Amino acid sequence: MSDKEQLNNAGRVDADAVYVGKVDPGKGFGVPWQPAVSPATANRGPSPVIWAMLAVSALLALAVIFVLPGVVEQYELPFTPRAEITTPVVPAGTAAPVGNPISPFEEAQKARQRAEAQDILASLLDRQSELELLMVSTWAPYAYQAAIEFARLGDEAYRTQDFAQATDQYRQSDAALAALLDSVPAVFSAALTAGNAALDAGDATLASNQFTRALTLRPQDAEAQSGLARAATLEQVTQLLDEAATLIAGGELSGAETQLQQAIGLDPLHQSARDQLAQVRSQLADNSFTAVMSEGFAALQSGNSDSAIAAFERALAMRPGSQQALEAITQTRDQLAVDQITAHQNSATALEAEEKWEAAVAEYDAALAIDLNLVFAQQGRDYAQKRLQLDRLLQSAIEQPARLGDAAVHEQAVQVFYTGRSLENPGPRLQQQLTAVETLLEKAQVPAEVQLVSDNLTEVTLYQVGVLGRFESHVLMLKPGNYVAVGTRAGYRDVRAEFEVGFDGRSTPVTITCTEEVVAVNRR
C-alpha cells in the first residue's frame, strides 16, 4: 500500500492531537502514556523492581506494535480523508511477524515530540482562526493555501508518528500564517492606496472592492469608511464633472460652477472637483475684474475721470493689491490732476485779463493745492497778489479821498499811483483808477476857504492847524480833508466840531461855541 493510500485510510489522532480546521478532543487512542525511565535510574544496578518494570514495558511495547495500528485504523485526519480498504486476511496458523520492541525512553521521546507538535499546532490554529476572520482568502489566497499545505504535510507526518517532521511542518505553517498576520497593516495600507487611486481614476467598482477589503481588515477605520462612501457616489460625481467640462468648453462658467458645487456636495473630498471649481471661480473673478477695468478705461476715454477712478477702485476692491488697478487709478488721478490744473490755469488767465485779481489768486491757490511745485502757479499767484494789493490801495484812495489830507496817506497814495503808472499794458480798470487818483491827488493840494464862527468867549483850537484863540469869525484856507476843532471856556462844558473840506473847493461855516454851563458841586 502507498503512503498516500495509508494517509487516506489513517484514523483520528489521540486526544492531544488537533488539526487545522476542526478539533475533536473527545477521541483518543486509548493507550495510556507511560513515563520513560530516566538515565540516572538506568545507570544504577538492576533490582527486582526494575526487572519487573522492564517486563511491564515489554508488554506495553508489544501492545503498541500489535494493538495501536488497529486502533489508528478507526480514526481519520482532516486534510486527507482515508478511503475504505480491505485488509488482507492472514492464513490460519500463520504467526504475525514480531517487530523490535519500543523502549520506554523512546516512547517518552515520542510523547515529548508529540506534545511539542501539538503546542505548535495550537498556535497555528489560533492564527488560522484570526486570519479567517480577516477573510485572508480574499487578499492572500495563494500564501494562505501554501501555509495550509505545510500543516497538511505535518498531519501526514503526525499519522505516521513522525512527530519531529510533523513539528517542523507545523512550525513552517505557523510561521507562514504569522507572516500573513504581520502583513495585515501593509495589505490594509495598500488597499487604501489602491482605493484612492481607483477613485482618482474614476473606477467605482475597483475603489469599492479595495475599500471593502480595507474595512475587512479594520472595520472601524474612518478613512476606509469614507472611501467606500465616496465610491458609492463616484459615478454621479463623474457625470457631473463631465457636464461641467462641457459647459466650460462652451464658455458657460456659471453653469459649470453649479455642476461642480453639486459634485463637491456629493463628495467633498474629490480633489479634481475642488480644483476645477477653484479654476472656474478664478476665471469668473478674472472676467468680472476685466469687465470693471474696461468700464473704467471707457469712462477715462470719454473724459469722465471721476467715473473712471470709481470703476478702477471697484476693481481694486475685487482684487486687493492688483498692480493693474493701482496703476490705472494713479494714471487717472494724474490725468485728472493735469486736467484740473489746466482748468485752474486757464481760469486764472481769464480772470487776470478781466482784472479780477482776487479770483485769480484763488485759482492759483487751487492749482498749488494739487501740486505745490507748479512754477506757473507760484509766479502767477505772486503777480496776482501784488496786483490785488495795488487795486485795493487805489480803490481805497478813490472811495475815501478825505484821507488824502493826511500827509502820510497822501504820500502813500502818490507812491501807489506811480507804481500803477509803471506797469506795462494796464487794463481798463487800472487806467480808470489811476486817472481818478491822479485827480484826487491834484485837488488834495488846492486849499479851500473855510469860515469858523464863535462867540468871542470860547478858546478855539484847530488840531491840524493850531490854537486860534477867541473870535467871532475866522476864515482859513484849508486843503481838502477832515478836520477837528475844539472849544473851551471856564465854567462851561468843552465842545468838539468835526468837519470836512471837500475837493470841490467849497465848505459850509463851522460854529464852535461853549454854551453849556457846568454847575459846581460844592457851591453854597
CATH assignment of the domain containing 203: 1.25.40
- Residue (of 495, 472, 471, 475) closest to 484 by Cα position: 495
Q: Which domain holds residue 463?
A: 448-511
- Residue (of 154, 152, 148, 157) closest to 176 by Cα position: 148
What ranges in 423-508 are assigned the alpha helix state H?
A: 428-443
Residue 408 lies in a domain: yes
- Whether residues 274 and 132 share a domain: the answer is no
Show which of 426, 443, 460 is a domain's final residue.
443
Residue 318 lies in a domain: no
Amino acid making up residue 485: A
Query: What is the bridge-based pairing of β-strands 466-469 and 473-478?
Result: unpaired
Helix or strand holding residue 511 (H, E): strand 510-511
- Whether residues 35 and 113 share a domain: the answer is yes
How much is the pLDDT for 512?
94
Residue 317 lies in a domain: no
As for how many domains the chain has, the answer is 4
- Whether residues 478 and 433 share a domain: the answer is no
Residue 345 lies in a domain: no
- Whether residues 178 and 193 share a domain: the answer is no
- Whether residues 141 and 81 share a domain: the answer is yes
- Whether residues 141 and 268 share a domain: the answer is no
d(CA 462, CA 275): 104
Query: Buried b vs exposed e over 185-203: b needs ≥16 C-beta within 10 Å?
Result: eebbeebbebbbebbeeeb
How much is the pLDDT for 53?
54
What ranges in 203-252 are assigned the alpha helix state H?
A: 204-217, 222-249
Residue 222 lies in a domain: yes
- Whether residues 70 and 170 share a domain: the answer is yes
Grid coordinates given for 102: 519500543
In three-state secondary structure terms, 159 is helix
End-to-end CA distance of the chain: 185
d(CA 38, CA 344): 129
How much is the pLDDT for 13?
33
Residue 17 lies in a domain: yes
d(CA 444, CA 500): 12
What ranges in 250-354 are assigned the alpha helix state H?
A: 253-266, 271-301, 305-318, 323-353
- Whether residues 149 and 285 share a domain: the answer is no
Show which of 294, 327, 350 is a domain's final residue.
294
Mention every residue, 6+ apart, whose C-beta is less than 8 A from residue 221: 188, 214, 215
For 373-426, how does the pLDDT look when each residue is reduced to its tens digit (9 = 90+)?
889 899 999 999 988 998 998 888 888 877 776 778 878 888 888 898 888 888
What pTM does this model have?
Answer: 0.43
- Whether residues 408 and 427 share a domain: the answer is yes
Asked if 17 and 110 touch (Cβ cutoff 8 Å), the reply is no
Residue 223 lies in a domain: yes
DSSP 8-state assignment for residue 476: E
Stretches in the chain below the pLDDT threshold 50: 1-46, 49-50, 56, 61-98, 523-524
Show which of 246, 275, 294 is a domain's final residue.
294
How much is the pLDDT for 166?
87
d(CA 306, CA 304): 6
- Whether residues 431 and 463 share a domain: the answer is no
Residue 324 lies in a domain: no
Asked if 451 and 509 touch (Cβ cutoff 8 Å), the reply is yes
Residue 475 pairs in a beta bridge with: 451
- Whether residues 288 and 241 share a domain: the answer is yes
- Whether residues 119 and 216 share a domain: the answer is no
